Each structure stands twice: as C-alpha cells, then as structure tokens.
Amino acid sequence: MPTNFVDNEASLLSLLRTEKGLPTSKVKSRKARLLFERLQQSGIINKQRKGAGSQFKLVNATALETFIKQEYPAGLSPETALNSPVRVQGVQQFQNSKKQKNLDFALLTVRGGATLTHAGKKVNLNQLTDTETSLCLKISTSKLAELSPLPCTIITVENPTAFFELERMLSRNSWQLAIYTAGKMSNILLEQLKHWYQQSHKIIHFGDYDYVGLLEFARILDCCQTASLYQPDALAEKLQRYGNTKLLEDQTEQHKTLLKKISQLPESKAKRELTIVHQLLQNSAKGMEQEALYTPDK
C-alpha cells in the first residue's frame, strides 16, 4: 500500500478500502467529514458502534472504487499520476492546474521554407507558408524536432502579426525558419533552440525593442552564444517616430534583470549588439514594438 497520498482524505479512503472500515475519530477535518457524509448518503458506508466508540463500516466495496475513481482520477497516491500531463496532475491533486507551474512540453509554432522532422514525420514548411498557415508541434526535452537543410537561419519572433507578416518586415532570403515565441519563451523552447544551435543552425532574435525583448535575447545567449539580435536600419530614427515611453516605464523590474544579465555576459559580438540597442533605448527613453517595421509594399 502506498505511504504517500495526494491529501489526507485520500489516505482515509485508502485505509477504508484496505481495512474495510475505520474509527470515526480519524475523520477530523471538516473536509473529511463532508467526504464521509457523502459516502454515507451513497450507501457506501454505515456508521456503527464499536466498543466505547464508533466506526465507519464499508458495506459496498464496488461503489467505493467507483467513488475513488471519480474523486481521484489519477489515483490516491501522487506516484500513480506520473503518466498524466503535469497540469492534469495539478487539477487532480490540488484542484488547480497552475499549482503545477512547469509544463513538461512546449508548443513549437513555426513557418518558413525548411523541412521539420518530428516523431518520425517530415513536414515541408513551404507548403504551409505559401497558404499562410503555420505548423504547431508538441515538443519536450526528450522529443525535440530536427531541421533541414543544414545550416538554416532561424528567427525567433515575439508577436503574432510580425510572425505571419515576416516577409513584409525582413527579406525572405534572410531566414528559413520563423518561430513564434508568444513573448517569453519556455525553457523547453530554449532547449530546442540550443539543440539546433549545436547542429550549426544560425539563430537571430527579432522581438520588440524594449527591455523585455532584449531580456529574451539575453536568455537566448545563455544557450546560443553566437546568436544575433536583429537591428533594422535607422533604428534610432524609428524609435523616435514609432516609440512609446510607456513601454519602458512599465518594465522597470525587467530592466533591473536585464542590466544584471548584461553584466554577466562575456564579451562578444552578441553582447555588443545587445548593449548598442540598450543604449538606443536609453537615449530615446522609448520602446518600440516590432510591428513598426511592417512595410506593406514588400
């Protein structure tokens, strides 16, 4: 019998199942009492006298098993839930999916002209990109996607409009694969980038020109040391024309984290790119969303 349970009520149900009954004195909490009232109302147990006290006696073992499956779909012990997705475990164990914060998978959303292989299946992205469709894959640290031909230029894109309108913002010849990051990338998505980087694919980060966007680039540099930060021509002028002071004002905490990350990075071309753009933000006191680079005539 497992010695570790999802909660106290699960341990009581386990005891009731194996011992065919248990003293009423063990049912102490309000939550436990309500649970056993339901068991009584369902005819699964009876309350009986025993010696100087009383006990809950199991009278319908089959109904108890059905009840347990309904209340604890993943089992009474956390070990029995290990094959369930982590957010499913959160609901089953804590009635809140967000109690399990770290997902064991990530969504890889891509478009471009390369070929992806995942779980033994190949997909030519040209066919999807030509019809304004993207590919979304479920990846994990043990099931990463492969990319060909070698080497490809991979560009990480922060916002959905920029992701689908990338050809009108960057030359189509400058990238073969675009990844939609939806803001902050998960650690699993960073692992996928690292996997491709180690296979000699080139990584370029294209995000908003603000502290959050630069912080994402700094995170990429932790695992892809020669990644590049996309800098459009005349960025200083574009910041003055399209920039917004509130973008930076709302990111004071991210700015502190960014400054710390910059100080920790080794000297490199990538660090110089990062510090140049950071200084432009400081000079203008404005941040700029990447959609400002959209040019409809491209």
* pLDDT score recorded for residue 298: 53
Task: Give the helix/strand (H/E) hosting 222.
Answer: helix 211-223
At 6 the pLDDT is 76
pLDDT digit string (tens) for the chain, length 298 residues: 445 777 888 889 999 999 999 999 999 999 999 999 999 999 999 999 888 889 999 999 999 998 988 888 777 876 555 455 555 555 555 555 444 456 788 999 999 999 999 989 999 998 887 777 889 999 999 999 999 999 999 999 999 999 999 999 998 889 999 999 998 899 999 999 999 999 999 999 999 999 999 999 999 999 999 999 999 999 999 999 999 999 999 999 999 999 999 999 999 999 999 999 999 999 999 999 999 999 886 5
177-180 and 153-157 beta bridge pairing: parallel
> What distance in Å separates the CA atoms of residue 96 and residue 67, rounded to the nearest whole number?
20
pLDDT given for residue 280 in this prediction: 97
Q: What is the pTM of this model?
A: 0.68
- Residue 100 has a pLDDT of 47
**Phi, psi values for residue 82, rounded to 5°:** -65, -25
Residue holding tokens 């803001």? 183
How would DSSP label each residue in 183-202?
Answer: SSPPHHHHHHHHHHHHTT-E
Residue 239 neighbours by CB under 8 Å, 6+ apart: 209, 280, 281, 284, 286, 287, 288
- Give me the pLDDT at residue 121, please: 92
3-state secondary structure 28-63: CCHHHHHHHHHHHHCCCEEEEEECCEEEEEECCHHH
User: What local confidence, expressed as pLDDT, does residue 89 receive?
Assistant: 52
pLDDT at 123: 93
Distance, CA of 111 to CA of 226 (rounded, Å) = 23
Q: Are 270 and 225 in contact (CB under 8 A)?
A: yes
Element housing 179 (H / E) = strand 177-180
User: What is the full DSSP assignment across 246-296?
Assistant: HHHHTTHHHHHHHHHHHHHSPSSHHHHHHHHHHHHHHHHT-BB-GGGG--T
Please report the pLDDT score of residue 86 as a whole number: 52
Give the per-residue pLDDT at 295.
Answer: 87
Please report, as a single letter, which amino acid is at residue 104.
D
What is the rounded distance in angstroms from the CA atom of residue 177 to the CA atom of residue 153?
A: 6
Domain annotation for the chain: domains and CATH numbers = 8-99 (1.10.10), 106-293 (3.40.1360.10)
Residue 42 in tokens: 């369902």
Tokens representing 59?
């009278």
Nearest alpha-carbon partner for 112 in 131, 132, 123, 126: 126
The CA-based angle 233-236-238, given to 5 degrees, is 75
